[in-house]
């Protein structure tokens, strides 16, 4: 344990040192090293999130990881919006859409497939899934579907009053979801073994603080390295005659790696409830926190923000949400549900490459 903790603290520090050294842009060797440190930092972040989860208990541990990743994601989106000008008008929409598709189809699909492959069937609280999905469907329609059909502003835009209303609606829905998850209906979001396991492992205050610090350091350097390596990724994508949109999907996948790995580990340990808490909670946080921040920045700086999806993307998103709702409708899952979701993800990526 001490050796692992030492390893998971050294890696994020080494990644930060490499990032600030400026060597990443000077040669492919340093870029390979940066990519390796990025992946190792993801593993370190997952380790520290598990320590925090053991100390604070579920579902608080999964909430901390989901919100931490989302806050860092939001800061990157806003910084690119401010610096990008008109070309960044669709940045928030594209990032949110990619994240939602990756979470619903990729993370959830892998958890259901791997868990079903190992245990045949896995159970979870149907009530928790219903609460999360009802909240998620409302937020998705308000943020990504309606803008293409409103008439106050022509095009896939919201007017300023509409954007403010939707931002408030997102915060309201997400806040009451957190209230249900942590207070009013906390028992829905717990697996049967969570309480006993949490009390079985003692985590000191010093370990808790250390893990919080290194979780933020790990997540922060994952995002910064992903952003720094994105020009190289973009060159590789373009050199292979692939659409530039694929770069955003790759970056979103890297940012979601900590949550994805944590969710998959939980599913393989027969803790599907924890996996779904991470996946659905991350999807809600990704929209529920990002849209209000984008609304404030765009209103203050008078930046137009494209939110509405085109018809093809709307159909793919509807297919993903509908499939997840059916998969989680009965409180028990098997690997077939996971396979269908993973096929949805492949269709999403395939239609980016061959639109």
Report how far residue 327's alpha carbon sits from residue 140's, in angstroms, rounded to the nearest whole number. Answer: 19
Q: Strand, coil or helix: what is 242?
A: coil
- The domain of 183 spans 2-353
Span 33-60, average pLDDT: 80
Confidence of residue 346 (pLDDT cuts 50, 70, 90): very high
Q: Which two tokens stand for residue 110?
A: 């892998």
Q: Round to whole Å and give the CA distance between 274 and 268.
A: 11
Other CB atoms within 10 A of residue 161 CB = 10
Res. 253 pLDDT band, cuts 50 70 90 = confident
CA-based nearest residue to 314, from 100, 88, 92, 132:
100
Q: Residue 56 corresponds to which tokens in the numbers above?
A: 């604070």
- The CATH number of the domain holding residue 211 is 1.20.1420.30
Q: What is the pLDDT of residues 149-208, one digit of tens each?
A: 988 888 898 998 999 999 999 999 999 999 999 888 888 888 665 444 444 457 777 888
Residue 4 CB neighbours (<10 A): 10
Residue-wise burial string across 112-127, b where 16 or more C-beta atoms lie within 10 A, e elsewhere: bbbbbeebeebebbee
Q: What is the DSSP string of 84-147?
A: HGGGGTTHHHHHHHHHHHIIIIIIHHHHHHHHHHHHS-EE--HHHHHHHHHHHHHHHIIIIIGG
CA 171 vs CA 28, 165, 168: distances in Å: 43, 10, 5
The DSSP symbol for 306 reads B
The pLDDT assigned to 87 comes to: 65
And the tokens for 271?
A: 């803790």
Q: Evaluate whether 81 touches 92 at the Cβ level (below 8 Å).
A: yes
Residue 9 and residue 210 in contact, taking contact as beta carbons nearer than 8 Å: yes
Looking at the 3D structure of the chain, how many domains does it have? 1
Q: Which of 62, 5, 101 is nearest to 342 (CA)?
A: 101
Tell whether the model's pLDDT for residue 230 goes beyond 80: no
Could you tell me what percent of the chain has a pLDDT over 70?
A: 93
How far, in Å, CA of 129 to CA of 231, rounded? 38
DSSP state for residue 181 in the 8-state scheme: I
pLDDT at 100: 93
State residue 86's pLDDT score: 67
CA 39 to CA 22: how far, in whole Å?
A: 19
- Would you give the distance in Å from CA 317 to the centre of its chain? 16
Average per-residue pLDDT for the chain = 84
Count of CA atoms in the C-beta half-sphere (13 A) of 130:
8
Query: Residue 247: is its pLDDT beyond 80?
Result: no
* Closest listed residue to residue 143, CA positions, set 106, 95, 108, 71: 95
**Residue 29: pLDDT band with limits 50, 70, 90:** confident
77 vs 286, residue with greater confidence = 286
> For 231-254, what is the mean pLDDT?
78
Of the candidates 51, 52, 67, 41, the residue with the CA atom closest to the CA atom of residue 278: 67
**For 293-337, how does the pLDDT look when each residue is reduced to its tens digit (9 = 90+)?**
888 888 888 888 889 999 999 999 999 999 999 999 998 999 999
User: Looking at residue 198, what is its pLDDT?
Assistant: 44
């Amino acid at each position: 344990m001490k050796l692992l903790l030492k390893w998971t603290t050294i890696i994020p520090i080494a990644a930060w040192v490499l990032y600030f050294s400026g060597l990443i842009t000077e040669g492919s060797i340093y870029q390979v090293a940066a990519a390796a440190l990025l992946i190792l930092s993801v593993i370190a972040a997952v380790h520290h999130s598990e320590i925090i989860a053991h100390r604070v208990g579920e579902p608080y541990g999964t909430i901390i990881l989901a919100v931490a990743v989302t806050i860092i994601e939001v800061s990157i989106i806003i910084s690119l919006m401010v610096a990008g000008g008109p070309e960044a008008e669709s940045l928030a929409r594209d990032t949110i859409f990619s994240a939602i598709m990756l979470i619903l189809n990729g993370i959830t699909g892998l958890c259901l497939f791997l868990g079903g492959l190992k245990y045949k069937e896995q159970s979870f609280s149907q009530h928790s899934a219903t609460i999360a999905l009802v909240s998620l469907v409302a937020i998705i329609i308000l943020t990504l579907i309606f803008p293409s059909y409103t008439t106050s502003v022509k095009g896939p835009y919201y007017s300023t009053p509409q954007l403010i209303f939707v931002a408030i609606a997102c915060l309201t829905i997400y806040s009451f979801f957190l209230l249900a998850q942590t207070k009013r209906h906390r028992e829905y979001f717990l697996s049967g073994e969570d309480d006993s396991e949490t009390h079985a492992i003692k985590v000191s205050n010093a370990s808790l603080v250390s893990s919080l610090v290194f979780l933020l350091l790990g997540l922060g350097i994952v995002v910064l390295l992903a952003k720094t390596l994105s020009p190289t990724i973009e060159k590789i994508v373009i050199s292979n005659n692939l659409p530039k949109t694929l770069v955003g999907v790759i970056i979103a996948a890297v940012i979601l790696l900590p949550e994805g790995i944590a969710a998959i580990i939980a599913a393989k340990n027969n803790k599907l409830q924890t996996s779904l808490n991470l996946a659905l909670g991350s999807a809600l946080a990704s929209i529920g926190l990002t849209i209000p921040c984008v609304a404030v920045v765009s209103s203050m700086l008078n930046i137009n923000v494209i939110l509405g999806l085109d018809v093809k993307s709307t159909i793919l998103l509807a297919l993903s949400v509908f499939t997840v709702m059916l998969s989680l409708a009965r409180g028990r899952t098997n690997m077939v549900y996971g396979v269908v979701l993973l096929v949805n993800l492949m269709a999403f990526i395939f239609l980016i490459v061959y639109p």
